[in-house]
Structures are given as C-alpha cells and as structure tokens.
Structure 1
C-alpha cells in the first residue's frame, strides 16, 4: 500500500510539473478559440484606426476568430499598450499597435512599462506620411513663411499634434531647433481633435499623419511640407524637410506586439495572419489612401529594430534637452 501510495504521489507530482508545458502546447494548437482584442491607441475614425480595422478584419478571417479593435486613447499613444503590458495575459488574445512614442517617453519621464522587457514583438508593419498643414486662407503660403514668422514673433506660432512626446511634437521641435526659432505646441488626444482646432482657428497649423488628406484635397487645408524622403506624387508641390534644408526624414515606424511571455507558436500564428492581411485588397486600398508604406519585418527583426529605436530615441531626447531628471 505504501509503495502504491508513493508511486501515485510521484505520478501526480510529475503530472504537476508537466501540466503547464502540456497545457501551453495544447493552447497554442487550439489558438485562437475566442475573439482577439487589438488595442488601438489612437481615436476611432483616424486613418491609422481605419487601416488597422481593415487589417484586423482580414486577419480575423484567416485565424477563424474575430479581431476586435479597442480604442484606448491617451499618453501620446502609450496608454493602451501600457495597460496591455500591465494587465493582459500573454495568451495571444490581447495585442496592440505599438507607436514609436513607447520607445521615447521612458527617456523623458517615468513610465509604467519598460519597452525592452514588457512586450512580445509580433511583426512590424508600416510607418506614417507626416506633414504640416494650415488653413487654405492662412497667411502662411509656404513653410518658409512659418519660419520667418516664428523668427519675428518668438513663441507665437502655434501648432497642434496628437500629443506631447509624439513623433510630430518631437519633429516640430527638431525643426525649430535647427531653424533657431521657437514654436508653441498645443497637444491633443488624436488627429481629429487637431484638425478641428485648425479648422476653428484655435491653432495656426497642424502637424500630423495624412488623416488631413481629404481636407487638403478638398481645398480646405494647405500642405506646406512633407516629412518623407521624397515628395509625394499626390501633393507634388509640397517640399520635403530635406529640400527645405532641415536634413530630417521622419516617419514614426510601428507594428504589433503583445504582453511579455507569449508562446512562440501563438506569436507565429498571429504573425502569419497579419502578414497575410497586409496583402488584403481592402488593406492595400487604405494603405494607399492614407499613404502608409509597407515596412514589414518578421518577429526577430522587429525585436532588433525595437532595441535600435529605443537607443535612437534616447539620443533625440537628449539633443532636445527633454531628458527626465533623475
């Protein structure tokens, strides 16, 4: 009896050690068995939101479960991913769009996450086409006019962005530093708020991604400059920052990630579905409409790129004098 009892105890103990690995393998095999949440840290209706909704729909069809977009706006795009890192289980059912701001803010202030420890990278997808727009009736006919006004009126040129610490904010401050002028930043929670503020005359300009494109095409806004390497054929008259003498190319690259500790097999399934979704006709259509270049990287390459971005953003923050004080 004692021997049978010991054997039974040993078997139960062994099963206890094996259970997590077995369950993890089974979970990866059956994944997904319920809807997946994709946290979108930007407002509903923005270009990046609409594009990710199309991508989520395409990936969901491939995965056999819906991918539901959950807008969690705040913290210049970091609140949603930070909440995922803090609270979500690493089971693949919660993922997030990862703005470059996540790599920058830890150098500027205390953050509730460590970008190099708290996330599992899935795939890199794209970047933005940024530009500066003014109202069609603005006194600023060119970006040179902006610089001349700012030089003559320090701090009086006001511009909107989707938030403090975003690539738009940092980019405008880099421009001001290079030009030797001072701008006044007016942060909002996302693109639509900034466009509305510009339309209402509450700010002089808006620096944002191409959510402003319909307003430019309709003749309500004027595009003064674009931040890509080359001019955009949709707006051939808008010069690049390089052409204007600033020596800057800024596109704020982004991708998808989940909480730390995800099963590699689950990561692979998500990676494969979203990589395929990049070729979906609706996704391709919206990429063209909102000028999102395809910048695919696999899981391993994205992880390396994340470290590179973290290191580069430290240098930018230091250069602008925005580093947090210890």
Structure 2
C-alpha cells in the first residue's frame, strides 16, 4: 500500500462512520419507506367549507404543503356533529401519515352519548399537535326583539320551548354549553342542529331559527349590522365586539373555546409524527396563519405532541363525566 492509499483509508473509514451515524439518526419511517412524504397528504375537515376551522386548516395545509414539498389536500366531510370525518379516518385511514383529520372536543365526547361507543378517542387515533380554538357566541337577526341576553332568557322562561337556537350539531361543544346554560337558568329552548356554522347562520338570517350559538361565522354579519351578538364565550370581552358581554359577566361560570388540533389513525410511526408536528407548528406560527386566526378571533392554543396527548386523555374523562351528568344521549 503506498502513502497515498494509506492516507485514503482513514478518510474512507471516517466517511463510513459518518454515514452510519446519519443512518442511525434518520427516523425509522425514512429508512422503511424512503422519503416522507412522497405523495399528497389528505386532511379531513369535518365541517362544510367556509367556516372558521375550515379556513384556518386550509391555511395550515397550504403553508405546510409548501414547506414539505407535497400538497396537503383538504377534504370536507361534515356530518354526525363533526365526528363523521374523524371516525372515517380512524376506521379506514392507513397509519402512514397520508390521512389526517381535525381533532376537536366533540370527537372526545360523542362516544359516551351512545349506548355502545363506536370509538375510543384516545386509543383509536395518533394525536399529533394542538393548534387553536374558536370564538363562540350567540347572535340573533338584526330585527330580533331581543336587544340583550337577559331579554332572551326572560322570554325563554316565559315561553318554554318556543325559542329556537341552532348549532353545528348534536353533541358539539356549543350544544353542550347551551344545555348547561338551560340547566342553570331553568329554561327550555328548542335545539335545531345543522351540519356546520355557515348553515346555522344562514338559517337565522332567513328567519328559520331565532338564534345561532356557534363559532364566529356570525361575526361578519354582526359587523355589517345584519345580526346582533348577545354574548361571547371567551374569558374576556372580544376586541372586535367590546360592548358584547361574556358568559362570565352574565352570571355563568363558563368559558368555552374548544381547543382543537390534528390527529391521524392509530399506529403512526413517531418519525412521521415528528415531521408533521414540526411542519404544522411552523405553519401555525407564520404571519399568514396568525392573520387567519385573528380574522376569526381564534386563540393560539399550541400544544406539542406529548402535551396534546395528555390533554386528550384528560379531557376525554371530563367529557365522559359531563355527558353522564347532563344525561345526554344519541340513542333517544
């Protein structure tokens, strides 16, 4: 071996060592499947297009897709109080990182409203990241006789069952909040559920329902004087609507923002989870997505993977207890 060859051997060994270290550092999914992602990712939004969650998640998908090099395709799959889409992902999606869904509190609650639960919110999903929540509130049409929340409650107390309100579905967070309010005030309102907040607002504007109690799809109509907000459900008054009282101010020990995130089917590789978490976190923190959240007054509720999984497990037990306390059932 000449001097030139002897000098090359240590260099070759160093390259082999570095190559081996890099291989060890790569996520298992990269070794098993090659580069992830190598095709489009589907993100199921369980509401009709145009609502606040749909717009926010489309923004996340667009930003994440550009960063990751593959499109994130939004598929709207509404129904069953916002649980049809997540349930389809849990039951039919492959745990390869190419089928994801919005995870929200109704998915944690609805199984316990059934005689025989059809899914386990903790065990049947791989929870990836917590993102944001909603601005909830109640609004009536501008020509409604109700100028204030107390006027509405007084009418409901004097006319049991006559006043109608709409939400985005049975067993949703906003429906549950309204059940809690009725229980506290001893009033009876008639619930008219729709598949999404857009449809709910349209029904109120058309005079088919008296009041919408849902996420902030109603906000632009309040701003242009087509609707009137009677309450918001945040901890403090909303800057866009400084004259609208919170539920706490109205005498209820109730703050509702319903934080949500993104999950996939159970059994996902943790390397893929890390990739998805990181790219969606970056998207969440961009000025573009911040502007979308600000437009709908959606609070930032970022949770990393481990924190979000702990939140899901704890909140599932809370929702189960709440359903039993209010005796809510989908079985009639």
Q: How does the TM-score come out when normalised to structure 1?
A: 0.91
The structure-2 alpha-carbon separation of the partners of 1:161 and 1:144, relative to structure 1 and needing over 3 Å to count, comes to same
Q: Hey, what's the Cα distance between the residues in 1 that align with 2:136 and 2:300?
A: 15
Q: Hey, what's the Cα distance between the residues in 1 that align with 2:203 and 2:324?
A: 30
- Shift in Å at residue 213 of structure 1? 1.1
Q: Hey, what's the Cα distance between the residues in 2 that align with 1:46 and 1:264?
A: 31
In structure 1, the residue matched to 2:71 is 66
Partner residue of 1:75 out of 76, 80, 97? 80
In structure 2, the residue matched to 1:130 is 136
Q: Hey, what's the Cα distance between the residues in 2 that align with 1:271 and 1:27?
A: 20
Partner residue of 2:219 out of 205, 210, 213? 213
After TM superposition, what 4+ stretches of structure 1 lie above 6 angstroms from structure 2? none
Q: Could you say what secondary structure the match of 1:54 adopts?
A: helix
- Shift in Å at residue 320 of structure 1? 1.2
- Shift in Å at residue 281 of structure 1? 2.2
RMSD: 1.4
Count of residues in Structure 1 that have an aligned counterpart in Structure 2: 304
1:293 and 2:307 matched? no
In structure 1, the residue matched to 2:104 is 99
In structure 1, the residue matched to 2:150 is 144
In structure 1, the residue matched to 2:55 is 50
Q: Hey, what's the Cα distance between the residues in 2 that align with 1:23 and 1:308?
A: 29
CA contact (8 A) 1:161 1:191 kept: yes
Residues 87-131 of structure 1 deviation map (CA, whole Å, 9 limit, x = unaligned): 111000000101100111111113432111110010000111100
- Shift in Å at residue 280 of structure 1? 2.1
In structure 2, the residue matched to 1:226 is 232
Structure 2: state its 5+ residue gaps. 1-26
Residues 122-170 of structure 1 deviation map (CA, whole Å, 9 limit, x = unaligned): 0000111100000111011011011100110011110010000001111
Q: Could you say what secondary structure the match of 1:169 adopts?
A: helix
Structure 1: state its 5+ residue gaps. 1-21
- Shift in Å at residue 26 of structure 1? 2.1
